[in-house]
Amino acid sequence: MSNAQYEVTIGLEVHVQLSTKSKIWCSCAVKTMAQVNSTVCPVCLAMPGSLPVLNRAVVEKAVLASLALNFQLNYQSFFDRKNYFYPDLPKGYQITQFFTPIAEKGFLELELEEGEKKKISLERLQIEEDTGKSQHASTGSLINLNRAGTPLIEIVSAPEIKSAQEAALYFKTLCDTLTFLGVTEGNLQEGNLRCDANVSLAEVGSKKLGTRREIKNLNSFRNVEKAIESEIKLQTEILSQGGKVKQQTLGFDANTLTIKVLREKGESSDYRYFPEPDVLPILLTEDDVSALKKKMVELPSEKRERYKSDFELSQYDASVLTQSKELALYFEEVMSLYKGKAKNAANWIMVELLRFLNEANCSPKNSPISPANLAELLLLIDSKVISGKMAKDVFEKMYDEKKSAKALVDELGLSQITSEEAIGKLIDEVIQKSPQQLSDYRNGKDRLFGFFVGQVMKLSQGKANPDLVNKILKEKL
Ligand SMILES: [Zn+2]
């Protein structure tokens, strides 16, 4: 048993399904959930004589992703064949970019704790095709080729990630960035982003990285974190007992949180990569790139900075509001109509709206309360037509009945009483009914002030503006 301390090094390879309408080499629709083997054609079935033609939209999305991730573009890039046999790969090879990918040398910035940032270097971004899917049943294995030829980009990080938590944060930041950018739907349940994690341990102070093992196909932030945690434990055990880590490819069982060895890892030379003869190189021009730069949108990290500076929101609020593109757009639309204090809008969205939406598993885009209706409610509160307390009831009804705030306030007769004359009359009535309390108050029983406020509020059925009630009561008593 050795007591050595180990330093963890992690590199991630993330496969991202691009949100194009059609596949990369043919005009079949990208609909992996469609009826089994329904979105296929001679090209994606690899029939003899069929030839691939590159989908322009794939290149555009790959360039957009490269720009957002601070990559250097290769204005000339090529496709290569990666040869291997598997039943879900009818051609017997995958078309990918091996020798010269479309982009190299980028970086992704992670937001660690409050304000602290860490840059992770990215080695390459390449375009490739996805394979079909095997489905294993007790009676045998079945192949669904709907996914064959779906466009992917693969993004390879440098081995600069230092913990399981950091790896999960990297995966999430990458997912958010590319989803906001619109290059992927970002749907993790459907496998739109899949991550392979290379993990190695070396003794602290050692200049050489340890032997790495690769965990394949992690498809959620949690699984990335849990799988790497398990793997670090395993490698620590092996090394501290004097053993050697072998280069292997691993699978992760998310139910039992266990790692299993899938196969001994091959070398890249085993794939006999060679230039793809059926697809032309990708040639980018300065004009192409500057046209795409105009399509760049504000990324989540940029939004957070702007929310903090322009709207004076905290880091926490800015993070919650940018947790999805839809929520950020919802907030921004409310603010474009409301123009009041952003903190008010943020609170209503984060506390009330999200609670209702999460309960109903509803996305902000389909919220029964539209941004315009929420803005109207906020304006009614600011102009004191209704109190904050009434607003909560109105909000619930807006959610259930999909009506506007104004319509509900009228319908329910909820308008706050803000006329000094009307409140004065209510106070007169209360004073008249309570001669004993009045004389006690005037003889020094100050605490009875609350009694009068309560009576006036009760008489007004809660509609009198409390500030005005206090002010006028003080004058009259
Ligand atoms: Zn096809």
Give the C-alpha distances (Å, rounded to integers) separating 48 from 54, 82, 90. Answer: 18, 19, 11
Q: Ligand 1 centroid vs 40 CA: distance in angstroms?
A: 4
pLDDT given for residue 56 in this prediction: 96
pLDDT tens sequence across 357-387: 999 999 999 999 999 999 999 998 888 888 8
Query: In which residue ranges of the chain is pLDDT below 70?
Result: 1-3, 114, 266, 268, 414-415
Q: Are residues 304 and 284 in the same domain?
A: no
Q: Please state the pTM of the whole predicted model.
A: 0.84
Q: Are residues 228 and 263 in the same domain?
A: yes
Q: Ligand 1 centroid vs 135 CA: distance in angstroms?
A: 20
> Does residue 45 sit within a domain?
yes
Q: Ligand 1 centroid vs 47 CA: distance in angstroms?
A: 10
Q: Are residues 193 and 339 in the same domain?
A: no
Residue appearing with tokens 């007790």: 138
pLDDT tens sequence across 209-246: 899 999 999 999 999 999 999 999 999 999 999 999 99
Q: Ligand 1 centroid vs 292 CA: distance in angstroms?
A: 27
Longest CA pairwise span in the chain (Å): 104
- Neighbouring CB atoms inside 10 A of 82's CB total 19
Q: Are residues 308 and 198 in the same domain?
A: no
Q: Ligand 1 centroid vs 418 CA: distance in angstroms?
A: 67
Q: Are residues 360 and 451 in the same domain?
A: no
Please identify, among 270, 290, 310, the residue that sits at the C-terminal boundary of a domain: 290
pLDDT given for residue 418 in this prediction: 75
CA 385, 391, 397, 400 torsion-angle sign: positive
Q: Are residues 125 and 243 in the same domain?
A: yes
In whole angstroms, give the CA distance from residue 96 to residue 41.
Answer: 20
pLDDT given for residue 410 in this prediction: 80
Of the candidates 133, 132, 123, 134, which has an alpha carbon nearest to the alpha carbon of residue 97? 123
Q: Ligand 1 centroid vs 165 CA: distance in angstroms?
A: 39
pLDDT given for residue 266 in this prediction: 66
pLDDT given for residue 339 in this prediction: 84
For 321, the domain range is 298-411
Q: Are residues 276 and 405 in the same domain?
A: no
pLDDT given for residue 385 in this prediction: 82
Q: Are residues 453 and 367 in the same domain?
A: no
Q: Ligand 1 centroid vs 13 CA: distance in angstroms?
A: 26
Count of domains in the chain? Answer: 3
Q: Are residues 281 and 390 in the same domain?
A: no
Q: Ligand 1 centroid vs 93 CA: distance in angstroms?
A: 16
In whole angstroms, give the CA distance from residue 414 to residue 6.
Answer: 65
> Does residue 215 sit within a domain?
yes
Q: Are residues 219 and 119 in the same domain?
A: yes
Please identify, among 265, 290, 315, the residue that sits at the C-terminal boundary of a domain: 290
Q: Are residues 363 and 432 in the same domain?
A: no
Q: Are residues 353 and 265 in the same domain?
A: no
> Does residue 1 sit within a domain?
no
> Does residue 314 sit within a domain?
yes
